[in-house]
Amino acid sequence: MLARLCYKEAVPKVVDPAERRSLLAEAVLRVVRRDGLEQASVRNVAREAGLSMGSLRHYFASQSELMVFAFRTVVERIELRLAGLEPESDPRRRAQRILSELLPLDEGRRAENEVWLAFTSRAMVDPALRALRGEGYDALRAGCRTLIADLSAAGLAPADVPAETDRLHALLDGLAVHAAMRPDIHTAESLTTAIERHLDALATERASRDASGRSQEPSS
């Protein structure tokens, strides 16, 4: 009996409650991608996860809560992937690597991208999702700004950091939308080279403006 008390939290549970919620969130993502967000009803998600409606409602009090959690799961997964990247000191290679990580280059990221698009669209009329979408937007924009600032400091991008952040951010999301619309045309290779070309263009433009506009350049 005393032994039992020591192990009270060790093995007994078949599945962790938090893990159950994650499994349900992934069921949401599967349904959203396969049938669209409007098909992600409580019934369909429960069936997809192999649970009953009542059981699902034990983990999520409302469907809105379920949707918000599922969306947040996608956002956190992307952040985790970015955090897991090995550090890269060269700004050009770092930009290339981080931006490539954000593009839908494989099946998993394609799924995330499509789900992201669906949630983004619904966030137009759903306040709860709008707040989350805003967070994702801000995080991505901040990331773009950091990359551009580093490139600019290294003389590999124009000096107007806000303007180039705007352009890179729009290019990134535009490529993602196009990849979702025409996955046959926008392959992993074409997306990667599109980003490469843009980074090349930034460097070329900076070099050109430096050469024409100034006689001296900053040494460090």
Partner DNA sequence: CAGTTACTAGCACAGTCGTACTACAAAAAG
Partner DNA sequence: CTTTTTGTAGTACGACTGTGCTAGTAACTG
Contact residues for a second copy, defined by CB under 8 A: 34-39, 114, 117-118, 120-126, 133-134, 137, 158, 160, 163, 166-167, 169-175, 177-178, 180-182, 190, 193-194, 197-198, 201, 204-205, 207-209, 211
**84, 140 contact by CB (below 8 A):** no
Residue 197 within binding range of DNA, rule CB under 7 A: no
Binding mask 16-35 for DNA (x = CB under 7 A): -x--x---------------
**Residue 170: which of DNA, a second copy, none does it interact with, CB under 5 to 8 A by kind?**
a second copy
**Selected binder of DNA within 2, 3, 6, 54 (CB under 7 A):** 54
Token pair listed for 215: 């006689």
Q: Please identify, using beta-carbon distances, which residue of 132 and 199 lies nearer to DNA.
A: 132
**Residue 122: which of DNA, a second copy, none does it interact with, CB under 5 to 8 A by kind?**
a second copy
The alpha helices in the chain, defined as continuous H runs, are 2-6, 17-35, 42-49, 53-59, 63-83, 91-102, 107-122, 127-153, 161-181, 188-213
**Residue 52: which of DNA, a second copy, none does it interact with, CB under 5 to 8 A by kind?**
DNA
Token pair listed for 90: 């060269």
Residues 6+ apart with CB under 8 A from 40: 28, 31, 32, 67, 70
Q: How far apart are CA 200 and CA 24, in angstroms?
A: 43
Q: How far apart are CA 54 and CA 46, in angstroms?
A: 9
Q: What DSSP designation does 90 have?
A: S
**Residue 194: which of a second copy, DNA, none does it interact with, CB under 5 to 8 A by kind?**
a second copy
As measured in angstroms, the least distance from the Cβ of 160 to a second copy is: 8
Q: Determine the size of the site formed for DNA (CB under 7 A).
A: 24
Q: How far apart are CA 21 and CA 70, in angstroms?
A: 9
Q: How far apart are CA 13 and CA 7, in angstroms?
A: 11
**Selected binder of DNA within 34, 39, 93, 209 (CB under 7 A):** 39
Q: Which residues bind DNA (CB under 7 A)?
A: 8, 12-13, 15, 17, 20, 39-44, 51-55, 57-59, 61-64
